Structure formats: structure tokens, C-alpha cells
Chain A
């Protein structure tokens, strides 16, 4: 099995670290992984993205153009990557600031009020973990327990006191995904 994902958003929204967390979790579950970040000019002020591939077998190309799952955390990312979702795939997006929602009927859309939820939880920086939780609930690509283990590796030790709040965010994301009927 192979899961090919792209996560995109503004710099600072945490798409790169979300992808990295997924990749680490993949390794902890014995999978092959690749994590390919955009590091070009788009990272310096515009949108950042990363491609994460989690696979049971050796990964050939780390660079691909069609994805099982796309996570889009702002309008430019949604505009750019809606068409990159494979037919039957999943498009997760944060509803905040979206004026032109996606229109494709051949994929599953998961509109997530992740930024609003993060504000309710009084921590805008865990928005990416709410999204990741939702993604886990829908795709089952890796387990929640492994993601928590992975976070210990991704987060520098001085932030380990934030692990519980990250777990709450992941769980909240999972709940949201289960409540929301696929559009």
C-alpha cells in the first residue's frame, strides 16, 4: 500500500512539520517514507508545501503530481492543488478565509473549521494538529499512538510540555472528521 499526500498552506501554519510528523509516524510503523519540502521562493512569504509518501515498499519518485490526499490550509493552496487530488481521493481544507470552495464531485471534500477550533482551544499553533487528526480519522494512514510517538521526535525537547495539548488537538480533529458528513 502506498499513500501519497501533499500539504500546503502559508508559511507558519505548520504544513511542513505536519508532514514531517506523518513521515516519522510512518517510519515508526515500519514503512518507507519520503518527505519532500518546497524550499524555494514560495516558502519565503507565499505558500509552503511538502509531499509525503508513506509506502509498504521502496519509494521510486519522491516527486509526483497526483495525490491520494491533499491538505490545503489557504485559498492559494486550494486553487493550486484541487486538481492534483486523484479521482476518489480526499481534499481536506481549512474553511477560514476560503471564499471560493472546491467544486470537484469525484473526490471527497472535508471542509474543516480548524483555525476556529484552534482559537476555541486558545492556541492557534495547534491548528495543523487538528487537521492531522481529521486526516488520521479519514485515511487511517497511521495510528494516533504512533503520531504521538512521532511528535516526541519532531518537537524539540523544550516543547515536550506541549505534547498533551497536541494530543487534544489531534483528538479534536478526529472528532470533527467523524461528525462532518463527507460533502
Chain B
């Protein structure tokens, strides 16, 4: 373990990328994540990375396609409107099964929107965004430490499954400073053979071709079946979440990323007032922790989903609990961050509603 450092989330993520053996970065500046490009252009280049500010996000993602195809550990980063521009390329990368890291330090939308933090890109990250039946593995950090830690995990997952992995953060996580400790990680110990990579044909094998175009429909269906099998395997093995005070919880808040930090505070506040609340924080947004949520649905009286959007992940919570308990939603939009007190009020309202329903039933 190295020493404790104090860094912005964006800087910690960039430093972790260098330490994880990322060979190349292609990106285009956009607030609130430009520190990633700045840090890598300076530190990354100095320590041997290829760092290129491309002419656009469209160019960046296609450079990622090329470098990943050649077998390099490669990444890009952007923020919401920039990530939208990358969607065609991301679909191609998913189809061609190219390992890479995509980072979205998201901001309020829709449109060019605002530069303030938001979780409005959940649907885009988790449900597609680009065309076709593909999935990204999506990791949602909620601290500066996790902005660093998840980079290593993302690269390893990408290589293991030949799949693009997205870190979905938000502007606050990118801009805030906290303590961070970089784990011991030797990239040489994490090298996965890439016999499929286009590194130059040798006489002993056929040409490697990386493409997402398959005119034969039967072949395209086979590729889809393989992708779906892979996603099922990822769901079985790689689902991650954190539970806080759920053992005796009567009420559960479900929140990820920065919203989970705020919700954690709200849990502490309502517990001080005698409401037994807990928190489930999805760490992987795909695959989604539906099973632990379903298990908790059998134990709690209700769930409150808290997001910095109009209600996106709440759909996955409702699918997971399948009507067994009431699921409420509280969110703020357009770059406004909900305060812990607002979350407390939303939860108290839910508890009051429950008492009312119970009284009526009696």
C-alpha cells in the first residue's frame, strides 16, 4: 500500500489508470471531467502512456476501438453530452467484443444541460444508449477512493470478458477531494492473452479480423447468443452491492453513487429519530443486484429510491421487488443535489403513509 494522498476524484481515477497499466487514452475535454485528460496529458505521458486529445468524442471512441483491437489497455472519458456522441462507437465496441474502459463523469441534461452533477445517464449507461442488444458492465463509485479502485476492477473485468466497462460517476465525485490510497497492483500480473488482437499476422494462424458487420443473419444471431450468454455469466459472477444497517431495517433506501452518500446520512438521521432504516447501494448497475433487493423485499415495509434524476434506477428496483413492497422515489434533476434532510422528509412521508394505510386496514 502506498501513502495516503488527497486528490480530486478525476485525478484519482487518472492516476489509477496509469498504475493499472493503461497504455492509451483518447478523449476530448468537457466539464466536469477535464482533469482526467489534463492529468494524463501530463503525468500519463511522462510515465509512458499515449495520450491524445482527439478532434471530437466520435474520433476518440473510434481510436479506442482501434487501440483495443490491437490489444492495448485503453480508455476514454467524457461527460454526458460527450458520451452521447460516442454511442455509435460504443455499440460497435460491444459487438466486436473489445475490452476497454469508458468513463462518464455525468452532468445535468438533457441536451447540453448544465455542468452540475446528475445521474440522468443511468438509462443510457445501463439499458443501452447505442443500438442493438448489448450491455456495458457499469460500475458506480461513491467516493474518491472508489474512483481509483474501480479503474483496476474495470480493466480486469474488460479483459476477462472481452467487454467494454463503464465507470458511471458524476460531477461532484469528479470534483471533490478526499483521501485516497492506491492499492498494490502490478499490471504485469494482470495481463490476459489476447490471441484475437490484430497485432500482425504470423504464418501459423489465420488473419484476425475485428468487425461488427456480419451480413449473414445466422452468423449475427450466433454472435447475439454468445453476447447474451456472456451477459448472463457476468450477472452470475460479478454483481456487487453494499448494504448499510439492513439487518434490522424496516425501511430501505436504494441509492448509488453520490446519492448513496447522501442517503447514508439520511439513514443515520432517521435512526436517531427511531425509524429503523437501512441502505442498499448497488455498486454494479449492470449487472444489477436484483437478488439481494428481492430478498430484502420479504423483510422491509417499504423502499425509497433516491436518485439525482427523474426516476430511472427505480424501474429496476420495482422489477426486482415485483410488487411485494411499496417502492417510492425521491429525486432532484438538472444538476440539483438532494440534501440529506430532503431524503429524511421523503422517508418520513413514506412511513406516515404506511401508518395511515395500516390504521385504515384496522
Binding site for B on A (CB under 8 A): 20, 23-24, 27, 32-37, 39-41, 59-65, 153
Nearest neighbor of A43 in chain B, beta-carbon distance:
B115
The complex places the Cα of A90 from the Cα of B171 at a distance, in Å, of 29
Q: Are B340 and A40 in contact (CB under 8 A)?
A: no
Q: Are B115 and A33 in contact (CB under 8 A)?
A: no
Selected from B4, B262, B268, the residue in CB contact (under 8 A) with A63 is B262
Residues of A within 8 A of B115 (CB): 39-41
Given A27-B4, A36-B172, A39-B32, is A62 in contact with B341 using a C-beta cutoff of 8 Å? no
Q: Are B114 and A35 in contact (CB under 8 A)?
A: no
Selected from A32, A36, A61, the residue in CB contact (under 8 A) with B179 is A32
Given A34-B176, A60-B261, is A40 in contact with B116 using a C-beta cutoff of 8 Å? yes
Residues of A within 8 A of B114 (CB): 40
Q: Are B179 and A27 in contact (CB under 8 A)?
A: yes
Looking at A32, A35, A39, A61, which has the most chain B CB atoms within 10 Å of its CB? Answer: A61
Residues of A within 8 A of B178 (CB): 33-35, 59, 62
Residues of A within 8 A of B171 (CB): 39
Q: Are A61 and B177 in contact (CB under 8 A)?
A: no
Residues of A within 8 A of B177 (CB): 20, 23, 33-36
Nearest neighbor of A39 in chain B, beta-carbon distance:
B175
Within 196-244 of B, Cβ neighbours of A (below 8 Å) are at none
Counting chain B residues whose Cβ lies within 8 A of the other chain, the interface size class is 20 to 34
Residues of A within 8 A of B31 (CB): 39
Looking at A23, A24, A34, A39, which has the most chain B CB atoms within 10 Å of its CB? Answer: A39
The complex places the Cα of A20 from the Cα of B262 at a distance, in Å, of 22
Binding site for A on B (CB under 8 A): 4, 6, 31-32, 114-116, 171-172, 175-179, 258, 261-262, 264-265, 268, 335, 337, 339-341
The complex places the Cα of A37 from the Cα of B9 at a distance, in Å, of 12
Residues of B within 8 A of A61 (CB): 261-262, 264-265, 340
Q: Taking the nearest CB of chain A, how far is it from the CB of B44, in angstroms? A: 20
Q: Are B175 and A37 in contact (CB under 8 A)?
A: yes
The complex places the Cα of A40 from the Cα of B114 at a distance, in Å, of 8
Q: Taking the nearest CB of chain B, how far is it from the CB of A155, in angstroms? A: 14
The complex places the Cα of A148 from the Cα of B139 at a distance, in Å, of 39
Q: Taking the nearest CB of chain B, how far is it from the CB of A17, in angstroms? A: 12
Selected from B6, B175, B264, B340, the residue in CB contact (under 8 A) with A33 is B6
- A selection of 17 A-B contacts at a CB cut-off of 8 Å is A23-B6, A24-B6, A27-B4, A27-B179, A32-B179, A33-B177, A37-B175, A39-B171, A39-B175, A60-B262, A60-B265, A61-B262, A61-B264, A63-B261, A63-B339, A64-B265, A64-B340
